[in-house]
Structure 1
């Protein structure tokens, strides 16, 4: 450099700090920040931070690299070093650092990555970590603040608000955290102290002073351009520019086989082990516990602490009925961290009176709710208007902002729910304020109306949507039904169970739906309540669900009662539907002539009403009877006509059934390629609808197709799945046919004893339900039995057959066993 340049540098250093001097030398050298960074081997950010005063204490090595890159002479080097020392010697405020973590942070890798990106890449200057008490906001905030330290040259300051009782103390706490003494104009002093510095302020536990925190943050963000703020709060700050990250619960195991990979399970195991009890050998029970606690870290830690006096099994059982045992946290923790009750109570105490009232009322919902449902319960009106919906939305939003309820979105619809531990606390408040009975009545009224609306939609083009909607509300429907039965509300019980029987059939809730109907009818008898229309529908539904479980005598009694009631009411559509269901009973009992007569009568009644859907169902049932008795041509015409009609009408259930029938007809004709195509279409449709009977039947017939092709391994897989579905549904008639098909496969694979065992099991089932082998299946059945008898000694055959007859269906349906493995000791000799 020239002597003139040296002189100018000497003059400049008198009035400029290190950053200004460095900038002048760089410009005189004709370098950009990027150019100097490249020559010195430093980052561009480091050069910018030094020039702007964001980094005031360059190390000696850094000074030497800069001087060499700028080609400074001896005097200029001394000036640069002196300037750096002067800046370094300036008194720097002492920041309160984030507290050190007491133990390992488990299962937050995803959360740390997402939040660090938001602040580290300056995507936002204000990030609020929110969530309910006990979800681990403070622990995540501590870890995040530590990880971000290197991204903020002027440091990270921790502002703990946990112990504050006065909102006015927020600003002094901030001042103390950045090393600033209190003064009369504190916010301005804090802003001036931070100035242009690049630093991170971390506010922990803001909820109880959230308004004051919001005001301080807004002022500092406006005055300090290089400042970033991280906050943990159960409630949003509601400051311009705020980004929100909802801290989720820990990941739960998808199944018991993957328990070890679950963060929730790992946390429980680590904390229990720290208390002197290692539960690694009981991960199935640990999984049960953490699922019940929905992955809430504080709840898991409190539960793990109880392993010093309880077994995991006892702990899991206790949690099924109450969360009261979730207490006894660290003595040094705040009261709200020593129990789940304390954590939730602290949030509850911050609510307004209106918010507390709504919070309690919403506890009547089980498994979530919609805005309409909330508005009904809150207002008491069966059809809430815009004003009531607006109130519900406002109060729901407030509780969501305070992390007491959560929001999910699916198919364009928002849905709300409470974590189980929060709901239990809210339910206690509802009982305490004497509003539980009224809230439960409003809840039941809403779901009775919803079920009746859904009933009208389940035979049309919106069938899938409404099936999914009812399935999503199943826990609420159960709660409404339980309330109606407990309070002996006959009308609600009959209307609700009667409206839901079709849903229970389509989604496979045969036993539960049947119990609802039987209990509602018994209640009506006991209370001597006469509601002919509701009673007729309930008898029809009870008869249908009993029929599906092969309780033919019960089904016939209920259906005949419904027929008489519908005749008295003059309800032609009701009579037609009863005839259809009675035809099903006759069909499974092997009385094909009676079944045809009943389905023909049903068709005539539907035709008199001009009911195209009913007529299509009559065609389909007549085709079903025809192929079961072996009249395949007639069956094909009937079912083909039904299929075309169901496609036009948008009846998914009907279309699935007609495809199953056509597929079965094709496979009995030996047209296996066509059969497979039809059955795969019915399987896909049934799976999409959640129509379990359709799934089970499709798998059954596909298994027969593969068995006919000689693909026995594939056949076993399909038939096993079908048997499991039919068994779970309670359909013993079809279970027997699937067992007979599995026997045919076993015989083809040279396992004659096991085949005899399966035939015996099927025979035992048929004897109990008094239903013969369908006519169309008899040829295959006789062929299988003859082949088995020819390959086995008579005594061996009878022993295996008898063992099958005495085995419970649940044991037989555990799955086709591998060749050399015997999962069930009762049938091991036949494997």
Structure 2
């Protein structure tokens, strides 16, 4: 019978019959044997003989496998990944493990190391299938067949023939670089795993296979040093040093600059190796400077590397070319975000809608999911919220794509509109029970808020600039961004604002915020001008709540300038307006400010009564900031009343609350008053520590009024520790600050301040006192805590206050 006739009768191909007859194929599947036996009309004995012969051939024939290649370099910094992924494969915890991650993260090198480490656990070893050279999806199966030593003749049955060849063998097949042929790789893998019970597959791919039973191990970048102590132990630093040394430029004396480079590269191994290669023409410091502005210099990989491994651009471009048009659109648009984004933000930028609907969110979710699976977007989860971001090198590539298609300005506008909406939504929650959550949310978006503000100011988008700056001033106050928030407001309100009735409320709010942040930095004249302008605008708008808020802030300016009568009158007017509106929060704040004025002028009884009422109201309202302030006031009143235990309890409560909220002014004030409590108890070392921390906070915030008070208290401690000249120096520094800002010593603090000055003047001769006092008055605030240098000696940073 001819091969053609037998093939026709059996329903097989002629090539399949020829392969069996010529010995190219020696392990036919049971189904093939059954078809042949039926076509030949074999009886039971002959069927058994044929089957036994096939089994003998199948058991004795072992085609040579393509072994994993030896690694060219030592695998650096992957001990944890090798152990974890190796356990999953070696202990058969999963039959399909996909090493996933962006291009250049080191998936192939890790796959090689895993295969080498666990091959002995498979009776038939490990087989390496490189798919990077495969350009046609139809060539995936032949590539696998070739790797296991099979040369199939029937192209239509190649996967079946691979399954027959593997059979029950205990084998690990490594499919390296699957992303560009992932559909076929996934289909073939699923069929082989179903047919071959002892087969395990390890894949490396930028995109997941998404087949049943797949486990995913996301390969992270190498760890970068977070502190100087971690420099020598950082895998990223070690990789750079190793590769640079191999190029003949050993940079061990430039470890700090190496750390700067690898932090910028976020620990990406390919990027680090390409950067190290540039040490043949640049110093490490020059390399770090270049990378701050662009990653374009990262090229020049090894001559044997594929084009996508020759440069960082090529590695990312390889992934980009595999995207659909819709995926490319989202990928480019997401580069507008700085520091990550949420699903709502992605939907807003993608759709151009400030508040995207369900359909827009669904589309953004689908595309985001695809890009995560393709390792171009990362996802993190915190407190029930998913957040997305890109590696810096990928984001730069995406931004170039956005510019190339001419959509960068549209994307920036949509981005700004979303964050304006977020800022204005958050504003209504910043004085209630959810205050802390909303402050944290805005803090998490601070880089995006800065980018949106920068775009609005750069493009002179008046409405966007005024609304965003005005919506953020309360956040800037609570989180201590006084100077930055004030600058935004000043620049926004200085734009060419047309007479737009719709913009009027936002302008009034922006003037209020500008006045408040100027006040917090003790720019009292500027604050008064801005606040009076805001008051006039709110009066024109007939906005009672706005007028009440401005009066409250003007009362604060008068209070710090020592004009307690004016401050009290303004706070009373503010209270009346809030009362007319039934605004419980506003009334509580008026009580708090009236109590503040009372204790500053020395009327502790009235201050306590007012502040207790405010505290009870704030507790009921859930206003963390207000509660912290009332506790500070009550603690201070107790401290000046000599009730030190009660004072400490109240101030520790305010400190804990302020720290939990991230409310820096509250932290600074609490530390200040706790330092006074410790000084009154005689624990001067502890007092110095607390006051020094308080001074640092107030100085960083730009609050010179409070800095002066802390310096005067430090002078009292210094005098008690017999550091009399330094005490005179500190008193002079405080006096110089007060003269510049035009704020006197508060009445309640005068006895301590004046007592310290008298003691210092009595202990020093007149010349020594004047020298130290004058040196303090001219010393920059940042240098005051370094110690009094003496009449002719420059400040020495080693002379710390604690000494």
TM-score, normalised with respect to structure 1: 0.86
Shift of residue 94, structure 1, vs aligned partner = 2.2
Corresponding residue for 2:219?
A: 247
One of 193, 196, 200 as aligned partner of 2:172: 200
Shift of residue 292, structure 1, vs aligned partner = 1.8
Corresponding residue for 2:307?
A: 335
Shift of residue 528, structure 1, vs aligned partner = 6.4
Q: Is the 8 A contact 1:727 1:810 kept in 2?
A: yes
Q: Is the 8 A contact 1:490 1:529 kept in 2?
A: no
Corresponding residue for 1:106?
A: 76
Shift of residue 724, structure 1, vs aligned partner = 1.3
One of 333, 340, 356 as aligned partner of 1:368: 340
Q: Is the 8 A contact 2:355 2:418 kept in 1?
A: no
- Pair 829,112 (structure 1): closer, same or farther in 2 beyond 3 Å: closer
Corresponding residue for 1:381?
A: 353
One of 713, 721, 726 as aligned partner of 1:754: 726
Q: Is the 8 A contact 1:335 1:342 kept in 2?
A: yes
Q: Is the 8 A contact 1:372 1:389 kept in 2?
A: yes
Do residues 222 (structure 1) and 194 (structure 2) align? yes
Corresponding residue for 2:549?
A: 577
- C-alpha offsets along residues 603-649 of structure 1, whole Å, 9 cap, x if unaligned? 11101111000000000011111111111111111111101100000
Question: CA–CA distance in 2 between the matches of 1:146 and 1:417?
Answer: 34
One of 467, 471, 474 as aligned partner of 1:495: 467
Corresponding residue for 1:825?
A: 796
- Pair 486,104 (structure 1): closer, same or farther in 2 beyond 3 Å: same
- Pair 274,747 (structure 1): closer, same or farther in 2 beyond 3 Å: farther
Q: Is the 8 A contact 2:729 2:788 kept in 1?
A: no
Alignment of 1:115-264 (within 5 A): 115-184=85-154, 185-264=157-236
TM-score, normalised with respect to structure 2: 0.89
Q: Is the 8 A contact 1:481 1:496 kept in 2?
A: yes
Question: CA–CA distance in 2 between the matches of 1:191 and 1:452?
Answer: 62
Do residues 608 (structure 1) and 580 (structure 2) align? yes
Corresponding residue for 2:292?
A: 320
Shift of residue 89, structure 1, vs aligned partner = 11
Alignment of 1:54-73 (within 5 A): none
Residue 755 of structure 1 aligns to a residue whose secondary structure is helix
Corresponding residue for 2:50?
A: none
- C-alpha offsets along residues 217-249 of structure 1, whole Å, 9 cap, x if unaligned? 101111111111111100001111000111111
Q: Is the 8 A contact 1:268 1:301 kept in 2?
A: yes
Alignment of 1:592-607 (within 5 A): 592-607=564-579
Alignment of 1:629-708 (within 5 A): 629-708=601-680
Corresponding residue for 1:306?
A: 278
- C-alpha offsets along residues 568-600 of structure 1, whole Å, 9 cap, x if unaligned? 111110010001111111111111111111111
Q: Is the 8 A contact 1:157 1:178 kept in 2?
A: yes
- Pair 258,804 (structure 1): closer, same or farther in 2 beyond 3 Å: farther
Residue 174 of structure 2 aligns to a residue whose secondary structure is strand
Do residues 590 (structure 1) and 562 (structure 2) align? yes
One of 250, 269, 278 as aligned partner of 2:241: 269
Let me know the Cα RMSD of the aligned residues: 2.1
One of 625, 635, 641 as aligned partner of 2:597: 625
Question: CA–CA distance in 2 between the matches of 1:341 and 1:823?
Answer: 52
Question: CA–CA distance in 2 between the matches of 1:817 and 1:227?
Answer: 76
Question: CA–CA distance in 2 between the matches of 1:238 and 1:697?
Answer: 56
Shift of residue 422, structure 1, vs aligned partner = 0.8
Q: Is the 8 A contact 1:373 1:446 kept in 2?
A: yes
Corresponding residue for 1:721?
A: 693
Shift of residue 656, structure 1, vs aligned partner = 0.7
Shift of residue 788, structure 1, vs aligned partner = 2.5
Residue 362 of structure 1 aligns to a residue whose secondary structure is helix
Shift of residue 272, structure 1, vs aligned partner = 2.4
- Pair 421,602 (structure 1): closer, same or farther in 2 beyond 3 Å: same
Q: Is the 8 A contact 1:623 1:634 kept in 2?
A: yes
Shift of residue 173, structure 1, vs aligned partner = 1.5
Which deviates more from structure 2 when the two are superposed, residues 240-249 or residues 285-294?
Answer: 285-294
Do residues 440 (structure 1) and 412 (structure 2) align? yes
Q: Write out the 4+ residue segments of structure 1 that deviate beyond 4 Å after TM superposition.
A: 86-91, 527-530, 826-831
Q: Is the 8 A contact 2:473 2:485 kept in 1?
A: yes
Corresponding residue for 2:487?
A: 515
- Pair 715,828 (structure 1): closer, same or farther in 2 beyond 3 Å: closer
Residue 524 of structure 1 aligns to a residue whose secondary structure is coil
Corresponding residue for 2:52?
A: none
Corresponding residue for 1:21?
A: none
- Pair 667,520 (structure 1): closer, same or farther in 2 beyond 3 Å: same
Q: Is the 8 A contact 1:724 1:813 kept in 2?
A: no
Q: Is the 8 A contact 2:115 2:174 kept in 1?
A: yes
Question: CA–CA distance in 2 between the matches of 1:557 and 1:371?
Answer: 42
Question: CA–CA distance in 2 between the matches of 1:106 and 1:740?
Answer: 55
- Pair 666,376 (structure 1): closer, same or farther in 2 beyond 3 Å: same
One of 737, 742, 745 as aligned partner of 2:714: 742
Stretches of structure 1 that go unaligned for 5 or more consecutive residues are: 1-85
- C-alpha offsets along residues 499-558 of structure 1, whole Å, 9 cap, x if unaligned? 110001001111111111011100134x66663211111100000001111111111100
Residue 173 of structure 2 aligns to a residue whose secondary structure is strand
Question: CA–CA distance in 2 between the matches of 1:663 and 1:87?
Answer: 91
Stretches of structure 2 that go unaligned for 5 or more consecutive residues are: 1-55
Shift of residue 491, structure 1, vs aligned partner = 0.7
One of 399, 419, 429 as aligned partner of 2:371: 399
Residue 663 of structure 1 aligns to a residue whose secondary structure is helix
Which deviates more from structure 2 when the two are superposed, residues 459-468 or residues 797-806?
Answer: 797-806
Question: CA–CA distance in 1 between the matches of 2:800 and 2:650?
Answer: 39
- Pair 600,762 (structure 1): closer, same or farther in 2 beyond 3 Å: same
Question: CA–CA distance in 2 between the matches of 1:598 and 1:454?
Answer: 28
Which deviates more from structure 2 when the two are superposed, residues 570-579 or residues 166-175?
Answer: 166-175
- Pair 771,277 (structure 1): closer, same or farther in 2 beyond 3 Å: farther
Question: CA–CA distance in 2 between the matches of 1:402 and 1:326?
Answer: 22
One of 393, 408, 422 as aligned partner of 1:421: 393
Shift of residue 104, structure 1, vs aligned partner = 2.2
Shift of residue 456, structure 1, vs aligned partner = 1.1
Q: Is the 8 A contact 2:725 2:788 kept in 1?
A: no
| Count of residues in correspondence between the two structures | 741
Residue 496 of structure 2 aligns to a residue whose secondary structure is helix
Shift of residue 265, structure 1, vs aligned partner = 2.1
Alignment of 1:760-771 (within 5 A): 760-771=732-743
Q: Is the 8 A contact 1:746 1:755 kept in 2?
A: yes
Question: CA–CA distance in 1 between the matches of 2:387 and 2:589?
Answer: 36
- Pair 310,575 (structure 1): closer, same or farther in 2 beyond 3 Å: same
Q: Is the 8 A contact 2:126 2:172 kept in 1?
A: yes
Q: Is the 8 A contact 2:726 2:788 kept in 1?
A: no
Shift of residue 802, structure 1, vs aligned partner = 2.1
Shift of residue 823, structure 1, vs aligned partner = 11
Corresponding residue for 1:283?
A: 255
Do residues 477 (structure 1) and 449 (structure 2) align? yes
Question: CA–CA distance in 1 between the matches of 2:375 and 2:163?
Answer: 31
- Pair 735,286 (structure 1): closer, same or farther in 2 beyond 3 Å: farther
